[in-house]
Amino acid sequence: AFLDQEAPELFASYDKLWEVEDPEETPYKSKYAARELLEAAVARLERLTQEAPAGDEDIERGREMLARLRLYLGKNYYFCEEVADAERLFNRSLEGYLRSPLRLVPEFFVYIQDAFNQLGMLWCNRQGHSQGMNYLRRAQVMYERRPACVRRGAE
């Protein structure tokens, strides 16, 4: 129910909050509200995936959704200038995706590239150009060497 019904509604609500332009006095008010939505969803989904019976086919989908939520959370924290937390979330997202058997699904493959790109920009902006370029190169190599199933899915 969460993955098929609630998650799309969650992302729609998040997007609406993300688009709000906050006043200068409270520059991140809507972003913090959006973050709360994602953090609640992460907590709920972590619980659901832990409680799911072994062999449940939705476990991997749930883990993928956790990785995606962490990627979105990382972007939120980065936008709100909380770089260390953003980095932690980007790394957790990337780890979740790289461990997933769903990583070659075209939609999810793109999120892995996004995580590498986010980490690359984060490191470049904190003057860690060597490490930043390493992440950006990985995203570029993924793009150039993407499997045929990903190539077809993106066309």
Q: Any residues with CB less than 8 A from the CB of 66 and at least 6 apart, and which? A: 42, 45, 46, 49, 96
User: Tens of pLDDT along 80-108?
Assistant: 999 999 999 999 999 999 999 888 788 88
Q: 0.75 cut: is pTM over it?
A: yes
| Among 110, 104, 20, 111, CA closest to 67 | 111
User: Tens of pLDDT along 104-143?
Assistant: 788 888 899 999 999 999 999 999 999 999 999 999 999 9
